[in-house]
């Protein structure tokens, strides 16, 4: 099976996909984009969050074939010309990273939230990030980072 799509603004083609292969696997193992993390592979943790045609999705739940002709943006694609995005900067500055496994998904989910709602309340932040699990932090630094990015 073959997949042709746009990833972070570049046309990419992948041959030899197996039936049932996830988009997450394609990104990480075939396209050299390890930003989206494989933590649960069941749609439970949000570590694999990406944009698919502008929609926030768990890439572990997307069949690679479903991305045919689509525009995919990963956490790597949020940094423009080598400069971290404001959300990426805010996570760094707030120290909202421990092991970092959840961080790419949180960054993409925060980017999505702030595109839709540039001044979210704490309740709106918590709701938007409810699908992103972190096993390391008490979430306070993560909330600080989102508030800072919104500012
Ligand atoms: S790895 Fe996709 S939701 Fe956990
Ligand atoms: S920083 Fe380790 S899982 Fe979130």
Q: What is the dihedral of CA 28, 84, 47, 110, to 10 degrees?
A: -140
Report the C-alpha gap between 83 and 7 in whole angstroms: 18
What value does the CA radius of gyration of the chain take, rounded to a whole number of Å? 15
Lining residues, ligand 2, CB within 6 Å:
97-102, 134-137
Flag whether pLDDT at 16 surpasses 90.
Answer: yes
Q: Is the pLDDT of residue 82 over 90?
A: no
Q: What's this model's pTM, rounded to 2 decimal places?
A: 0.96
- Which helix (H) or strand (E) segment holds residue 110: the answer is helix 103-116
pLDDT value of residue 138: 83
CA of 84 to the centre of ligand 1 (A): 24
Q: What is the pLDDT of residue 59?
A: 98
Q: For the segment 92-146, what is each residue's pLDDT rounded down to a tens digit? A: 999 999 999 999 999 999 999 999 999 999 999 999 999 999 999 889 999 999 9
Distance, in Å, from the CA atom of 40 to the CA atom of 49, rounded to the nearest integer, reads: 12
Q: Ligand 1 center to residue 37 CA distance, Å?
A: 7
Tell me the C-alpha to C-alpha distance, in Å, between residue 118 and each of 80, 110, 151.
20, 10, 8
CB-CB contact of 67 with 27 (8 Å): no
Ligand number with the minimum distance to the CA of 37: 1
pLDDT at 137: 80
Q: Whose CA is nearest to atom 3 of ligand 1?
A: 43
> To test the ligand 2 pocket, which listed residue (48, 96, 101) has its Cβ within 8 A of the most ligand atoms?
101
């Amino acid at each position: 099976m073959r997949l042709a799509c746009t990833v972070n603004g570049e046309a990419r083609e992948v041959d030899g996909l197996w039936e049932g292969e996830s988009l997450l696997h394609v990104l990480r193992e075939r396209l050299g984009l390890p930003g989206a993390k494989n933590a649960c592979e069941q749609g439970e943790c949000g570590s694999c969050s990406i944009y698919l045609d502008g929609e926030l999705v768990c890439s572990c739940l997307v069949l690679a074939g479903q991305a045919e002709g689509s525009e995919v943006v990963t956490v790597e694609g949020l940094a423009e010309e080598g400069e971290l995005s404001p959300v990426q900067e805010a996570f760094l500055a707030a120290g909202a990273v421990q092991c970092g496994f959840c961080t790419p998904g949180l960054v993409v989910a925060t980017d999505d939230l702030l595109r839709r709602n540039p001044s979210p309340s704490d309740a709106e932040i918590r709701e938007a990030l409810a699908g992103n699990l972190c096993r390391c932090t008490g979430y306070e630094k993560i909330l600080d980072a989102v508030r800072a990015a919104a500012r």
